[in-house]
Chains A and B, each alone.
Chain A
C-alpha cells in the first residue's frame, strides 16, 4: 500500500516554463488536496477535489491548474512558472467522512 505518491521529488524550472506535479493515491480516498509550504507561512491550500471530475480553488490558486479525471490521480499544473512559485508542494488525501489527512512526501520546486 503506497499511500500518497508524488513525483518528481525535486525540480528546477526557468521562468516561464510549464510543468506538472503528479499525485496518486491508492487508498480509494474521495478527497484530494494540493498545499504549498513556505517558511514562516505554514501550508496554504492551492486546490482541492471532492471526487473525480470535481475541483475547487483553495486560498492561493493563482498560477495553478488541476484536474481530477480519476479517483486516484490529482495532478497540479504550473503554466508559466514564476519565482514566487518556488516552494515545497504537498499532495494529501482523505476518505469522505474521515478527518485525518494522509500526506505525500512533497515536491520541492525552484523557479529561477
Chain B
C-alpha cells in the first residue's frame, strides 16, 4: 500500500534561515509527488510537483528514489512562508487519488 510520511508536525525557524520539510513515501510503482500548501484561512493549493522540476516562491523539491524521499527546501525562509505543508503521492489507478502525509506546520519567526 502506498504511504506518505512527514515526520515533523511542527517546524519553527527564523526569517532568513534555511528550511527543509521532510517527506518520505512508499509506493510500488513510479511515484508522482506533490507539495500542497495551506496558508492561514485559505484553501489548499499546489505549491510544486516533482515532474515540473521548478522552483516556486523559492522552494524546490527533489525526488530521491533511492531514499524514497521528496523533501521541500528553501535557502532563506520568509515570514510569509508560514503555513501548513502537505506532501502528496498520486495513485494513477482508478480516480487519480492523492495520498497525503500528515502535514507540517511551518512557522517562520521574525
The answer to whether B32 touches A99 (Cβ under 8 A) is yes
The answer to whether A56 touches B44 (Cβ under 8 A) is no
Q: In the complex, what residues of B have CB within 8 A of residue A99's CB?
A: 32, 34, 49, 90, 96
Chain A interface size, under 10 / 10 to 19 / 20 to 34 / 35 or more: 20 to 34
Q: Total A-B residue pairs with C-beta atoms closer than 8 Å? A: 56
Binds B, one of A10-18, A42-50, A73-81: A42-50
* Mask of A70-100 contacts with B, CB within 8 angstroms, 1/0: 0000000000000000000010101010111
The answer to whether A101 touches B43 (Cβ under 8 A) is no
Q: In the complex, what residues of A have CB within 8 A of residue B103's CB?
A: 40, 42-43
The answer to whether B96 touches A103 (Cβ under 8 A) is no
B95 in contact (CB, < 8 A): yes
The answer to whether B46 touches A42 (Cβ under 8 A) is no
**Known contacts A50-B95, A94-B96; A103 and B102 CB within 8 A of each other:** no
Could you list which residues of chain B lie within 8 angstroms of chain A, going by C-beta atoms?
4, 6, 9, 32, 34, 36, 43-46, 49, 86, 90, 94-103
Could you list which residues of chain A lie within 8 angstroms of chain B, going by C-beta atoms?
31, 33, 35, 40-45, 48, 50, 56, 58, 90, 92, 94, 96, 98-101, 103-106
